[in-house]
Amino acid sequence: MPKHSETRALPYSAAQMFDLVADVDRYDEFLPWIQATRVLGREANVVTAELVVGFKMVRERFTSRVTLDRPSRIHVDYISGPLRYLKNDWVFRDTPKGCEIDFTVDFEFRNFLFERLAGAFFGEAFRRMVASFEARARAVYGVPGGAIPASG
């Protein structure tokens, strides 16, 4: 599976974006293909979570350990599920106009069919995921420079 790396500049603080990405409990509310989330355990800076991911006829469950180094880094370790491996890192840096986020993900399915399907949609899937985090930031924190988000 190809590795995907992306750097984005956003008009929110590193702490705000860190909190949004760290809120694994709510991924099923705004991320495409995440059908359910369940936090299995929490320690000081580690969350163990199970996600159910679905796309068309495919539905899979996987568990990961999310290490939180607030407000600068989130690292995801794969525990179990349909993958051979998963490497995922988020790095957040404050800038004069907000923050810069470096996102890296690399994974491989055990199942050849899933691997082929994922490969066909890999780029689009991650573009949609990043756009979903940006939309979530606007909904939670408002439009930079004024608008207040709707409550709810």
b vs e for 88-112, b when ≥16 Cβ sit within 10 Å of the residue's Cβ? bebbbeeeeebbbbebebebebeee
Q: Where are the domains of the chain?
A: 3-140
% pLDDT > 70, the chain? 86
Q: What is the model's pTM?
A: 0.86
Place of tokens 């790396």: 5
Mean pLDDT in residue range 30-50? 94
Q: Does domain 3-140 have CATH number 3.40.50.300?
A: no
Q: Look at residue 71 in the predicted model and tell me its pLDDT.
A: 94
